[in-house]
């Protein structure tokens, strides 16, 4: 059933594309009015005046209807019509147009002189030529051109023209061969329409796959730089960010005090909750657009503050320590007991270049000293370095 439904949808889509091609070429109907006026001028005589006027009225009515249908189709009117409705309408209009041109032209040929016959044949062949775009919908094409060719054949038979029989046979054969040629062209155009549909589907599929792949790549990129538990940056992202920072900055190592005891007492689930709560407190204490908070592993975090001096770094570190100590012991991200952190800070001045490894080493030494001095404190590594000794 799914395959049949897909085939039905494809046929409707192809039919809709055919209607687009045919109705968009309807403005050529204006030429039929010009051709009708020329024919009336050439054949005008009091004895056939009524017939010529009636014929011209039919030509004009059909042409105006075709032009109006183009405007309605472009605006989606009537609203209840689909491609099949328009296909039936277009077939009827092609039949009426073909009959108007065929019967009128055959009637004119039946009493035409050689010069008038030349004009009639030229106009008829021009009408068939202009209608070639309708070959995309073969029924409509045949309903237009067959009445013209075969009515001209009958008109030639009853005319007084020299070689009327060969002319009649020629028109009859033209109609027959037009059917064959129209079938071949229609098949090729239908194949082209199907290929166009398949190409659009393939392009849409590729676009969807590309969007999905791009989304997956973004997700992988985020995952490759994110700690899965806390949502903070991981060590890889930290290193990348810290290397990109220029000028003065501060590096902090933040270690949760007595975390192993907390984990052993309350369990790993509560330990994870504690880590997430501390991570939120750290993240809420920095400038997201300028600074970075990362989890190094276990209960250890790192913070990079860009464009800060030593005094500001100390003040920010003290604020971070206080924020963690103030974590609530109720709510969805509560801690089971008071949690404190030891923070080691290393800074870099704008006029004293310092590598990332130096900053990390100094901050590590500072946090070790903070722990050794009683924890829940901020320490700077004040050891003189070789490049600082004059």
Beta strand extents in the chain (DSSP E only): 249-256, 292-297, 300-306, 341-348, 378-380
- Per-position pLDDT tens, the chain of length 390: 444 444 555 565 666 666 666 666 655 677 888 889 999 999 999 999 999 999 999 999 988 888 888 788 778 788 888 878 888 888 888 899 899 999 999 999 999 998 999 999 898 888 888 777 777 777 888 888 889 999 999 999 888 888 888 888 988 888 888 888 777 776 776 676 677 767 777 888 888 888 888 877 777 766 678 898 998 999 888 988 988 888 899 999 999 999 999 999 999 999 999 999 999 999 999 998 899 999 998 999 999 999 998 899 999 999 999 999 999 987 766 888 999 999 999 999 887 778 888 899 999 999 999 999 999 999 997 554 444 332
At a CB cut-off of 8 Å and minimum separation 6, what does 297 contact? 235
What gap in Å lies between CA 39 and CA 94, rounded to an integer?
A: 20
Angle of helix 29-43 relative to helix 83-111, nearest 10 degrees?
A: 20
Is 299 assigned a catalytic role? yes
Tell me which of 208, 219, 299, 362 is the catalytic residue. 299
DSSP 179-215: HHHHHHHHHHHHHHHHHHHHHHHHHHHHHHHHHHHHH
Angle of helix 164-224 relative to helix 2-24, nearest 10 degrees?
A: 120
What gap in Å lies between CA 36 and CA 124, rounded to an integer?
A: 10
Alpha helix stretches (DSSP H) within 225-299: 235-244, 259-266, 268-283
Query: Could you report the per-residue pLDDT of 27-42, keeping only the tens digit for each?
Result: 567 788 888 999 999 9
Give the position of tokens 């939120």: 280
Give the position of tokens 């392009």: 203
> What is the phi/psi pair of residue 109, to 5°?
-65, -30
At a CB cut-off of 8 Å and minimum separation 6, what does 352 contact? 387, 388
Q: Peptide bond preceding 279: is omega within 30 degrees of 0, i.e. cis?
A: no
What is the percent of the chain with per-residue pLDDT over 90, rounded to a whole number? Answer: 39
Give pTM, 2 decimals. 0.50
The alpha carbon of 356 is separated from its chain's Cα centroid by a whole number of angstroms, namely: 44
The answer to whether 42 and 226 are in contact (CB under 8 A) is no
Give the position of tokens 């330990």: 271
Strand 249-256 to strand 378-380: parallel, antiparallel, or no bridges (unpaired)?
A: unpaired
What gap in Å lies between CA 313 and CA 309, rounded to an integer?
A: 6
Among 379, 295, 299, 303, CA closest to 339? 299
């Amino acid at each position: 059933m799914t395959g049949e439904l897909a085939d039905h949808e494809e046929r409707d889509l192809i039919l809709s594309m055919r209607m687009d091609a045919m109705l968009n070429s309807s403005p050529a109907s204006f030429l039929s009015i010009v051709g009708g006026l020329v024919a009336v001028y050439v054949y005008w005589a009091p004895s056939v005046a009524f017939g010529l006027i009636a014929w011209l009225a039919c030509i004009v009515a059909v042409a105006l209807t075709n032009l109006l249908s183009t405007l309605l189709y472009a605006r989606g009117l009537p609203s209840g019509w689909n491609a099949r409705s328009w296909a039936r309408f277009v077939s009827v209009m092609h039949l009426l147009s073909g009959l108007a041109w065929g019967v009128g032209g055959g009637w004119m040929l039946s009493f035409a002189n050689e010069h008038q016959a030349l004009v009639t044949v030229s106009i008829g062949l021009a009408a068939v030529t202009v209608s070639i775009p309708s070959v995309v919908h073969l029924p409509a094409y045949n309903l237009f051109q067959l009445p013209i060719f075969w009515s001209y054949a009958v008109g030639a038979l009853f005319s007084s023209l020299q070689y009327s029989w060969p002319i009649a046979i020629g028109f009859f054969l033209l109609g027959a061969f037009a059917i064959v040629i129209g079938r071949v062209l229609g098949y090729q155009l239908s194949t082209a329409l199907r290929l166009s549909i398949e190409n659009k589907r393939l392009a849409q599929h590729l676009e969807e796959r590309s969007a999905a792949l791009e989304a997956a790549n973004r997700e992988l990129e985020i995952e490759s730089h994110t700690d899965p538990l806390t949502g903070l940056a991981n060590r890889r992202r930290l290193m990348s960010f810290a290397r990109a920072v220029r000028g003065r900055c501060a590096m902090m190592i933040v270690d949760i005090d007595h975390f192993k005891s907390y984990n052993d007492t309350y369990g790993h689930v509560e330990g994870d909750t504690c880590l997430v709560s501390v991570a939120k407190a750290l993240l809420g204490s920095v400038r997201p657009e300028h600074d970075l908070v990362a989890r190094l592993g276990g209960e250890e975090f790192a913070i990079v503050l860009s464009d800060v001096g030593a005094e500001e770094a100390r003040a920010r570190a003290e604020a971070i320590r206080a924020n963690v100590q103030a974590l609530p012991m109720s709510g969805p991200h509560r801690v089971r007991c008071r949690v404190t952190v030891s923070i080691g800070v290393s800074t870099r001045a704008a006029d004293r270049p310092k590598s990332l490894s130096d900053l990390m080493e100094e901050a590590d030494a500072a946090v070790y000293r903070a722990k050794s001095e009683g924890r829940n404190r901020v320490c700077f590594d004040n050891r003189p370095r070789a490049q600082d000794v004059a």
